[in-house]
Each structure stands twice: as C-alpha cells, then as structure tokens.
Amino acid sequence: MGIELPLLAMLVPAAGALLIAAFGRWPNVRELVTVLTSVALLGVVLQMLPTVLADGFWETTWTTEPIVLFEMLPGIPLELKLEPLGMIYALIASSLWILNSLYSVGYMRANHEKNQTRFYVCFALAIASVMGIAFSGNILTLFVFYEALSVSTYPLVAHKGTPEAVRSARVYLGILVGTSIGLLLPALIATYFFTGDLAFAPGGIFQEALTDGRLTGPMLGVLFFMYMFGIGKAALMPMHKWLPAAMVAPTPVSALLHAVAVVKAGVFTVVKVCIYVFGTQSLVSAGQGEWLIYVAGATILIASCIALFQDNLKRRLAYSTVSQLSYITIAASLLSPLGFMAASIHIAAHAFGKITLFFAAGSIYTAAHKTKISELDGIGRKMPWTMGAFAIGSLSMIGVPPTAGFISKWYLLSGAWETGYTFVIVVVLLSTLLNAGYFLPIVWRAFFRAPPSHDGHAPLSPQDDAFGDPADEVTAGHGHGHDDHHGDHGEAPLPIVFALSCTAAGTIVLFFFPDIVLGLAQQIFKGLPLP
C-alpha cells in the first residue's frame, strides 16, 4: 500500500484544484477547501515518512517497481518513486503549504486582490507539480513536472495583470522555460542517447558509457554544464534574473513558491542530478565538476553584494535567495557525503527562514503598505510579532544559533574542510558577513530607530547612507504619503501573524530537533555505493 502514496500526494492537490475551481463562487468554501487540501496533503506525506526512514529502505522499498503513470516515450515511462531526498522536499513543501494557505487567506482578502479563484487553483496545481518533482522516478518525469511547475506558476506571477507584472512574468517564464528547453532538454536527450536509460540510480548512470568509451570525460563535462545551467530554477548566475522579476507576484507566491517550492525544485534537481544521474564517482574521476564550486561561490558573493544595495524589501530578499540557493549548489558540488548532507539540510533550513522573511514583508505591506526598507524606521514597535519573526529569520540566514541556518552552515564548513576547498570556507565566511550586513540593519532600523515624524523628513543619519541606496532620500520622502493614511496601523490580520509566527518558531524548532531531516539526509548515503 505504501508504494501508491506518492501518486496520492500528487492527486490530492490536483483534486483540490478542481474543487477550488468548482467552489470559486463562494470564497469561504473555496478557502476552506484550500486549507483542508493542504492538511490532507501533509497527512499523506507523513504517511510515507516511516517507510523512507526505515532501515533497509534501499534493499526493500527502492527495489520494488516504481508506479508507472503511463508510457510517454517507448521505453521511458512517467514514473513515481519514493526517495529520501524527495521526501525532505515534499515534507517541507507540504507542511509550509498549510501555513501559507492561512497566510494567503489573510493577505489576499486584506489587499482586495482580483481573480482569487485563479490564484488558489494555480497554487494547488503548482503544489501538485512539486509533489511530482519530489517523487519522480526518472529524470524525464522530473523534467515534465518541472515544466508543469513553470507553467502553473506563471499566472501567479502575472497575477496583477498590470503591464509591469506581465513584463516581469515574461522574464520569469522566458528564463525558466528557455533554460530548460534550451539546455536541460537536450542534456536529457543526450543522456538517453549515451546511456539508453533515464532512471535515477544511486551512484549515477554514466559509468557504463564512460567505461566502454561511448562517452568521454570532456563530453561528460559538457553534459554537466548543460544540466547545471539548464536548471534555471536553481538561479545559478547568470540565470538568476527571473527570481527578482518574480517579486511582482503577491507575497504568498513569493513566500512559498519563490522562496520554497520553485527555487527548491531547482536546487533539489541539482542535488538529485549530482547524486543519482552523474554520481559522485563519475564526476570526480572525470574531473569535471569543479568549476561549479567557483560559479556557485561567485553567485553567493555577487548576489549578496547586490542584495546589500536593494531598497525594495522583497528584492533584497530575492537576491538573498539567489545567494542562499548557491549555498546548496556549492554544497552539492563538493561531491562529498558531508556536502550532500549540508545541501539537504539547507534545503529545509533556508525554506523555513526565508518564508518567514517573506511573510513578514507581506505583513508589512498589508498593514502599513510599505515596500521599501528605508521606510521601516521604528516599525518594530507597531508590529512586534512581525518584526520579531523577521529577526529570527534573519538570524537563520546569517547562521546564528539557535536557528536552523546554523546547522547547515556547520555541515557545509565541515564538508569544505574535509575536502580541502579553502575557497568554499572563505566564501562562506565572507557571505556570512554580507548576510549580516544586509539583514541586521533592517532589524536595527525597525526596533531602534524612531518612527518618522509627520512633519518632515525622516531623520537620516550618516550610517544610513552606508547601506542605503542613493534613491533612499527620495523614496523616504515619498513614504510619508503612505504614512498619512497608515500612520496608525498596528499588526497585520491574525492569519498572517499566526502563519509567520509558526514559521519563525519552526526555524528554531528545526535547530533543536533536526532528527527527521538529518535522518532522511543520512538515509540518502546508505544507498550510495561506497567509494
């Protein structure tokens, strides 16, 4: 029985989408259905957890036949299969979806967004695609759902329908689909061409082709290159532009999809491809994986530097995401067990931290209609819960205990130490400083600066200019217009505050009780062939 659950995990949100569409006329029912679906989904995913964590998973569950949906190309079916890394991803996405649904209800209503039914339908479809990605049994299946995720999130990004939103959505889709069709798909076909197989296998599928000379080391390198840049969702520079563009979407979308589901789909695919398609041994022996460390390292630093100069809160968070994603990529590209461990855990840690930050940004927008960091002076006094959660999220991004971010950074540094890549250690340390540099001032501003007075410019201290945009002064002045209307705002609506408090708490809980994630991460390595 346990083996059919992955299919169920896909069908639950898909069925939810149908119901949501059917109940579109009654907002209360519609939103109740959304929340119920998300709870049901978590239930289904939790059901699978013991199977994956069980001893001897690789000998029993993994060796049973996958669930074949249908045969798409001769010899290459669409199939689903349980797998520990996918389990981490599914678990995070499904548990955060519940909170995000609550949050969406509060946010969409408070901001009087249009086309809410389309929003919830597409959201559920996106989650269904996420489940498909998480449980895909071969790389073609993964690709199919990867594309499904791009298409189903497009209407969410273009949600507002303004020319700006449509333009950004165009960039979003253009880069995501462009990279996947232009690089990932040919890489897939070439993989099939060389190996005659697309199924995931611990240790990779290229050894045979490499040993009998069909495939040479440099060709493997080219393939690896096509995969890594073809997975645009991992936002490796220069394929990262879609992520800031996606920030025009309503905040719940940015929070769950562009901090968790979509970007994690990218890095999840990266890790999965490294472990199950290429296999560490093939890559190490061909000596072709190393460049990725430097590209990812550069992405971390450059994105952090760009983030430093963003005044729009969501854009700053977006660039922070770009840099955090490359943590995962860089960890995976170490090609060592500790590295993969760090990658798996950071998928979870970053998810909780970043969604908290986005929830907070949306909360601020809803309550105070502010989108710029320079307008946030003293807002912590009016919105203590929101800014408290924001502070916790920031700490997790920086990697300060007791937050989840610390654990993944610890593993990453250990992995780098073990493999001897000083470059990685330097990058991690530098970026920690940068992280602190672009997050802490926000927290400081919110709690320790006086709120702007109503009769003039906000007091600008010289320090502000150190991390502020030159445009700050203008926008700060502009912010007063809003203040006149929202000067007496308090906290955001209850569902919003509740959701962001939960995720902030989750960030801390994950630090003290990382057992499930660690267990799943360790399970991955039990299946790998010993070097």
Indicate the residue among 56 and 163 with the shorter CB distance to another protein. 163
Judged by CB under 8 A, the residue of 151, 302, 505, 518 near another protein is 151
CB of 285 to another protein, least distance (A): 24
Indicate the residue among 88 and 177 with the shorter CB distance to another protein. 177
Neighbours of 295 (CB within 10 A): 19
Indicate the residue among 192 and 309 with the shorter CB distance to another protein. 192
Q: In three state form, how does the secondary structure of 105-127 look?
A: HHHHHHCCCCCHHHHHHHHHHHH
| Phi and psi based region of residue 75 (left: phi greater than 0; alpha: psi -120 to 50; beta: remaining) | left
DSSP-assigned letter for residue 336: S
Count of residues in contact with another protein, rule CB under 8 A:
30
Indicate the residue among 18 and 433 with the shorter CB distance to another protein. 18
Residues pairing with 79 in the sheet:
68
The token pair that represents 292 in the structure block: 């990725």
- The verdict on 147 binding another protein (CB under 8 A) reads yes
Indicate the residue among 148 and 460 with the shorter CB distance to another protein. 148
Judged by CB under 8 A, the residue of 4, 59, 71, 164 near another protein is 71
CB of 277 to another protein, least distance (A): 17
Residues 277, 200 contacting (CB under 8 angstroms): yes
Judged by CB under 8 A, the residue of 11, 53, 185, 430 near another protein is 185
Judged by CB under 8 A, the residue of 14, 24, 61, 192 near another protein is 192
- The verdict on 193 binding another protein (CB under 8 A) reads yes
Instruction: Choose one: 148-156, 209-217, 280-288, 408-416; the region binding another protein (CB under 8 A).
Output: 148-156
- The verdict on 181 binding another protein (CB under 8 A) reads yes
How far is residue 134's CA from residue 358's CA, in Å, rounded to a whole number? 23
- The verdict on 123 binding another protein (CB under 8 A) reads no
Nearest to 506 by CA among 359, 344, 362: 359
Indicate the residue among 148 and 305 with the shorter CB distance to another protein. 148
Chain centroid to CA 490: 30
- The verdict on 74 binding another protein (CB under 8 A) reads yes
Indicate the residue among 165 and 305 with the shorter CB distance to another protein. 165
Instruction: Tell me how far CA of residue 447 lies from CA of 374, 384, 390, 480, in angstroms.
Output: 13, 9, 11, 19
- The verdict on 506 binding another protein (CB under 8 A) reads no
CB of 246 to another protein, least distance (A): 15
Instruction: Tell me how far CA of residue 268 lies from CA of 9, 287, 325, 346, in angstroms.
Output: 18, 22, 10, 11
CB of 142 to another protein, least distance (A): 10
How far is residue 509's CA from residue 393's CA, in Å, rounded to a whole number? 13
Chain centroid to CA 263: 4
Indicate the residue among 165 and 400 with the shorter CB distance to another protein. 165
Nearest to 438 by CA among 263, 300, 275: 300
How far is residue 21's CA from residue 496's CA, in Å, rounded to a whole number? 24
Instruction: Tell me how far CA of residue 41 lies from CA of 96, 133, 213, 505, in angstroms.
Output: 11, 15, 46, 21
Judged by CB under 8 A, the residue of 90, 128, 173, 521 near another protein is 173
Instruction: Choose one: 64-72, 122-130, 249-257, 364-372; the region binding another protein (CB under 8 A).
Output: 64-72
CB of 193 to another protein, least distance (A): 5
Judged by CB under 8 A, the residue of 17, 125, 130, 158 near another protein is 158
**Tokens 């197989």 appear where?**
197
CB of 126 to another protein, least distance (A): 16
Instruction: Choose one: 39-47, 159-167, 267-275, 474-482; the region binding another protein (CB under 8 A).
Output: 159-167
Judged by CB under 8 A, the residue of 190, 413, 505, 509 near another protein is 190
Nearest to 20 by CA among 37, 43, 3, 4: 37
Which residues, at least 6 apart from 471, have a Cβ–Cβ distance to it below 8 Å? 311
How far is residue 466's CA from residue 256's CA, in Å, rounded to a whole number? 32
Instruction: Tell me how far CA of residue 210 lies from CA of 205, 214, 285, 460, 528, in angstroms.
Output: 10, 6, 10, 62, 19
Instruction: Choose one: 169-177, 300-308, 315-323, 448-456; the region binding another protein (CB under 8 A).
Output: 169-177
Indicate the residue among 13 and 405 with the shorter CB distance to another protein. 13
Helix-helix angle 27-53:116-134, to 10 degrees = 10
Instruction: Choose one: 68-76, 123-131, 210-218, 320-328; the region binding another protein (CB under 8 A).
Output: 68-76
Judged by CB under 8 A, the residue of 54, 189, 466, 474 near another protein is 189
Indicate the residue among 142 and 497 with the shorter CB distance to another protein. 142
Which secondary structure element, helix H or strand E, spans residue 258, and what is its range? none
In one-letter notation, the amino acid at residue 116 is Q
Judged by CB under 8 A, the residue of 2, 24, 27, 174 near another protein is 174
Instruction: Choose one: 72-80, 333-341, 445-453, 454-462; the region binding another protein (CB under 8 A).
Output: 72-80
- Which residues here bind another protein, judged by CB under 8 A? 70-74, 140, 143-144, 147-148, 151, 155, 158, 161, 165-166, 169-170, 173-174, 177-178, 181-182, 185-186, 189-190, 192-193
